[in-house]
Amino acid sequence: MTTPHRRRTALLAGTIAAALALAVGLTTAASAATLFSDDFEDGNATGWSSSGGSWSVVVDGTRAYRQSSTSADAKSLSGTASWTDYTVSARVKPIAFGNNTRAAGIAARASSTSSFYSLVLVGAGRAELRRTSGGGVAVLAQAATTVTPGAWHTLALQVTGSTLRGSVNGVQLVTGTDATFGTGRIGLLGSYASAAFDDVQVVTGSGPDPSPSAPASPSSAPSPSPSTSPPPPPPAGQADGYASVNSLGQNGTYGGAGGQTVTVTTAALLADYAGRAEPYIIMVSGRISVSGMITVVANKSIIGVGSTAEITGGGLQMGSTTRPGNNVIVRNITFRNASDDSVSVHNASHHVWIDHNEFWPGFDGSVDVKRQSNFVTVSWNVFHGTDKSMLLGHSDTFPADIGHLKVTYHHNLFDGSNQRHPRVRFGEPVHVYNNHYRNVGLYGVASTENAGVVVEGNYFENVAFPCHSTNGYADSAPGRLVQRANAFVNSGPCEANGSVPEPGSYYPYTLQSAAAVPAAVTAGAGVGRI
């Protein structure tokens, strides 16, 4: 799904007229108002006031606003001095740094070119949240990040009251508290660094609602037209689908970003770091034998090193009854011979991304999501001969799952697996798209207990029963299922029943044509491919 190209719209009076916003083609998130948007495609920088450096609109793929000097503390401001709580975002391409302490980035609440907050990329390889007051600079927070001259980086700086949050490429890296500036304009900065800037936007309000009370109907948000090209991947380390949804309109699942990176080689170390309160990026090296389930609490990334990282004998469970497993990423790991589930997302955990893993048979499910968990993406995984592959919903007698269980499944390979790809109870809308089902035993997808599932653009090969919904499944009551644009090769039909809200009302996605799915999934799914 593509977003219309934005033209410049500056509402400098501080009020938003909905009719005007629609007329100029602004894209605004639910519960948010767009105050300002500039992509410089009109070829000028009208409305921007520069100080220092050499500023001009140039062609850089598309038009962009470039500051060309590395020998000046250059700034360019726009917007309105009365703006208070908002998020300013922009694409920033550092070109050259005067030295590795120099920086390029964005500013908020600027009262002048010498007083403002900023989020900058420093040449030495870090993001800094700064306060510049009367020309003096104080670093409020910093975090290591990849800074690549000549590459675009997406920066977002949110100012709400005295709370400041900064993200790079959709991953929140820095936060701080400061009450020096309460209002002010936005800015672009090249502090002794040349850089290009594009797609500047200012949004105020709460941003997209992660759980809309009245999701759009199927007719109001049509499915995107299928593409034969592989879908563009999210930026490195950034989730898509439901795991990307949050109240700030930025990436909703960032795992342990901003925390310490550690490498583990034993079950004891893995359990230790996974259970700590602080954020961690946990790198799994080699094969780790686990007994039972390791509890993973909030703000963790668990990522395999290379293509040989394995967890065998046990699995990972997101959260416990007393400690949530929110904001967790699991990537690039092979799971074998689990004594229970390989990965279990339960106990109201939310914002979990399970990506580029491989699952071999275990005692129970490979990836189960249940007990009021929400906003999960399962993408680019391979399931080798698994039986109860993916359960969504605890049981027929657990209606507390109603209103939860929003999960995206895309670009997974189910190779000789048996059932539950997924089996859904209560969740709505569940999104199953662009997966490859090959030589599946019992069935592909089952929608039961009035769940709402959209199944689109999948490739079913040698699958006798691609979808169940009309009659339910086993002892479960029927669900609802919309199927469209799927391919059925030596396979039965897909049962469709009722209507389901559109997943596209929650997040953007690019639907690939079903015929192109086998090649894309074969090339991209599994470990060693992130």
Please indicate, yes or no, whether residues 256 and 199 belong to a single structural domain of this protein: no
Please indicate, yes or no, whether residues 75 and 132 belong to a single structural domain of this protein: yes
Radius of gyration for the alpha carbons in the chain, expressed in angstroms and rounded: 24
Taking 60 as the threshold, does the pLDDT of residue 347 lie above it? yes
Distance from C-alpha of 65 to C-alpha of 40, rounded to nearest angstrom: 7
Higher pLDDT, 20 or 41: 41
Give the pLDDT band of residue 310 (cuts 50, 70, 90): very high
Please indicate, yes or no, whether residues 352 and 444 belong to a single structural domain of this protein: yes
Please indicate, yes or no, whether residues 334 and 430 belong to a single structural domain of this protein: yes
Residue of 89, 60, 87, 49 lying closest to 195 (CA atoms): 60
Taking 70 as the threshold, does the pLDDT of residue 413 lie above it? yes
The region, left, alpha or beta by phi > 0 then psi within -120 to 50, assigned to residue 275 is alpha
Taking 90 as the threshold, does the pLDDT of residue 52 lie above it? yes
Per-residue pLDDT of 245-287, as tens digits, reads: 874 334 689 999 889 999 999 999 999 999 999 999 999 999 9
**Among the ranges given (90-94, 124-128, 233-237, 455-459), the one the predictor scored with the smallest mean pLDDT:** 233-237
Catalytic residue, candidates 126, 185, 331, 420: 420
The pLDDT of residue 170 is 62
Per-residue pLDDT of 466-522, as tens digits, reads: 999 987 677 889 999 999 999 999 999 999 999 999 999 999 999 999 999 999 999
**CB-based contact 181:111 (threshold 8 Å):** yes
Per-residue pLDDT of 378-397, as tens digits, reads: 999 999 999 999 999 988 88
Distance from C-alpha of 120 to C-alpha of 220, rounded to nearest angstrom: 39
- Give domain status of residue 213, yes or no: no
Please indicate, yes or no, whether residues 256 and 200 belong to a single structural domain of this protein: no
Please indicate, yes or no, whether residues 406 and 461 belong to a single structural domain of this protein: yes
Residue where a domain stops, chosen among 137, 170, 205: 205
> Which CATH number characterizes residue 445's domain?
2.160.20.10
- Give domain status of residue 247, yes or no: no
Mean pLDDT for the stretch of residues 390-416:
93
Q: Which two tokens stand for residue 68?
A: 């060309």
Please indicate, yes or no, whether residues 348 and 409 belong to a single structural domain of this protein: yes
The pLDDT of residue 5 is 34
Per-residue pLDDT of 165-191, as tens digits, reads: 998 876 678 989 999 999 999 999 999
**CB-based contact 372:348 (threshold 8 Å):** yes
> Which CATH number characterizes residue 140's domain?
2.60.120.560
**Structural domain boundaries, residue 166:** 9-205
Please indicate, yes or no, whether residues 286 and 152 belong to a single structural domain of this protein: no
Give the pLDDT band of residue 8 (cuts 50, 70, 90): very low
Q: What are phi and psi of 227, to 5 degrees?
A: -115, 145
Please indicate, yes or no, whether residues 335 and 198 belong to a single structural domain of this protein: no
The pLDDT of residue 152 is 82
8 catalytically annotated? no
Distance from C-alpha of 371 to C-alpha of 398, rounded to nearest angstrom: 8
Residue environment code for 456-467, b if the CB has 16+ CB neighbours within 10 A, otherwise e: bbbbbbebebbb
Please indicate, yes or no, whether residues 325 and 446 belong to a single structural domain of this protein: yes
Taking 60 as the threshold, does the pLDDT of residue 350 lie above it? yes
- Give domain status of residue 218, yes or no: no
Residue where a domain stops, chosen among 205, 221, 239: 205
Please, what is the average pLDDT of the chain?
A: 86
Q: Which strands sit side by side in the sheet containing 260-264, from one edge to the other? A: 260-264, 280-284, 300-304, 328-331, 350-355, 374-379, 407-410, 430-433, 452-456, 480-484
Domain count, the chain: 2
Please indicate, yes or no, whether residues 429 and 507 belong to a single structural domain of this protein: yes
Please indicate, yes or no, whether residues 268 and 338 belong to a single structural domain of this protein: yes
Q: Is the pTM of this model over 0.75?
A: no
Taking 90 as the threshold, does the pLDDT of residue 439 lie above it? yes
Taking 70 as the threshold, does the pLDDT of residue 18 lie above it? no
The pLDDT of residue 301 is 96
Residue where a domain stops, chosen among 172, 205, 238: 205
The pLDDT of residue 232 is 59
Residues 6+ apart with CB under 8 A from 457: 226, 433, 434, 484, 485, 486, 511, 512, 513, 514, 517
- Give domain status of residue 436, yes or no: yes
**CB-based contact 463:437 (threshold 8 Å):** yes
Per-residue pLDDT of 213-243, as tens digits, reads: 333 333 333 455 676 665 655 656 688 999 9
